[in-house]
Amino acid sequence: MSTPSSLDSSFIIVDDDRPLQVPAPAPSPLSQVESSRVESTSTTTTTTAVEKEQKPEPPATHPSLDTPNYTPGSSPSYAHDWSRTATGGGIFMDGRHFVDAYGRVCNLRGVNLSGSSKTPTDHDHENFPGDHLIVTFVGRPFPLEEAPEHFARLRRWGLTFIRFLVTWEAVEHAGPGIYDTAYLSYIRSLLSLLPAYGLSAFISMHQDVWSRYSGGSGAPAWTLELVGFDLHAIEESGGAWLHGQRGGGHVEAERGLWPCGYHKLVASTMSTCFWAGDVYTPKLRVKNKHDQEVSIQQFLQNCFLDMWDMVARAVGDLEGVVGFQMINEPHPGYVNASMHGFNYNTDLHLSHIRE
């Protein structure tokens, strides 16, 4: 990792007027040869610079190819190390910048990890929607035993910052207030490995089109049932486009059409109930965990926040976790819908699709 005075282009000093300590440039090999020619007076033959040059060394072999019992990630890397040891204590916010403990702006480069986290490890295309109470996301994005290989590869590629995808369904699929502790333990074990590879991550609570059961990913199935939807009648009624969840059978022209589901009945209704149920569905009320009758908006939002509390408790203290994204790409549903303004992809371009 660079020192505080490093000239590494990935870092600059914030609010620091100290002059940069520029190291003296290394002497050119050609200059050294020319100097030796001037200083040498005991020879009558001048040796040219080309003759003085040594033969180039053969390319280095990566340790993983010739080292017995090589451990992935154990060899040096040019990727930035975002562990607390290297950053002087962590990564922080300073205005619009991420900075380390030395005040250097950190340009975080990385990847999503990963799209596979949107579906459970036991997702069954043929029997979808199946029994949503017993699904599991343990092993998403990959089995724990494979993590060293993947993390070492990301570091070698210089992709040392991770947007780690989690879904509401993964944490609370079995019902309101019933949390998958095995999954929470799994992601804690996985994210605990990050500092050893110089990696860091933020947790993204991912959703598309509200839920897997309305053509995307995110919320658990019981949220739809709570509002009154029959999971086994959604597709036939045209309430959602579920070809992707069922797998196969759709033509190439249908690839990438999932955003059209945002303005189908199920996803739009669910987003409306979540964000503005008190206004749009004031008579839809359910009993909460205290046996009190509350609006569907209050119930869904409280469940969502309680689920987030579980996630934060599970991984919030880990060195490799630097922050959280509360929800990915929230959609307003029917709130403030207008004929005079639209999203090209979700409202117009793709919404011609019919079942």
Going from N- to C-terminal start, the domains of the chain cover 108-325
- Non-local (6+) Cβ contacts of 298 within 8 A are 277, 278, 288
DSSP classification of residue 344? I
Q: What is the pLDDT of residue 69?
A: 76
Q: Write out the H or E segment, with its range, that includes residue 85.
A: helix 84-87
Q: What is the pLDDT of residue 149?
A: 94
Report CA torsion sign: 130, 147, 194, 153.
negative
Q: What is the pLDDT of residue 28?
A: 37
Q: What is the pLDDT of residue 346?
A: 62
Whether this model's pTM surpasses 0.85: no
Fold of the domain built from segment(s) 108-325: TIM Barrel (3.20.20)
Q: What is the pLDDT of residue 16?
A: 34
The two beta strands, 161-166 and 110-113, are: parallel
Question: What distance in Å separates the CA atoms of residue 232 and residue 108, rounded to the nearest whole number?
Answer: 43
Q: How many CB atoms lie within 10 A of CB 308?
A: 18
Please report, in tens digits, the pLDDT of each residue of the chain (355 residues total).
Answer: 433 333 333 332 333 333 333 333 334 333 443 444 334 334 444 444 444 455 555 655 656 666 777 676 565 555 788 888 888 988 999 999 999 999 999 989 999 998 899 999 988 877 888 888 899 999 999 999 999 999 999 998 999 999 999 999 999 999 999 999 999 999 999 999 999 999 999 999 999 999 999 999 999 999 999 999 999 999 999 999 888 787 765 667 667 778 888 889 999 999 999 999 999 999 999 999 999 999 999 999 999 999 999 999 999 999 999 999 999 999 999 998 877 776 666 665 554 444 4
How far apart, in Å, are the Cα atoms of 1 and each of 175, 291, 304, 339? 46, 55, 39, 54
Comparing CA positions, the residue from 132, 137, 105 lying closest to residue 121 is: 137
Question: What distance in Å separates the CA atoms of residue 204 and residue 216, rounded to the nearest whole number?
Answer: 16
* Residue 282 backbone dihedrals phi, psi, to 5 degrees: -65, -25
CA 353 to chain centre: 30
How far apart, in Å, are the Cα atoms of 67 and each of 61, 78, 148, 151? 10, 20, 17, 19
Q: What is the pLDDT of residue 245?
A: 82
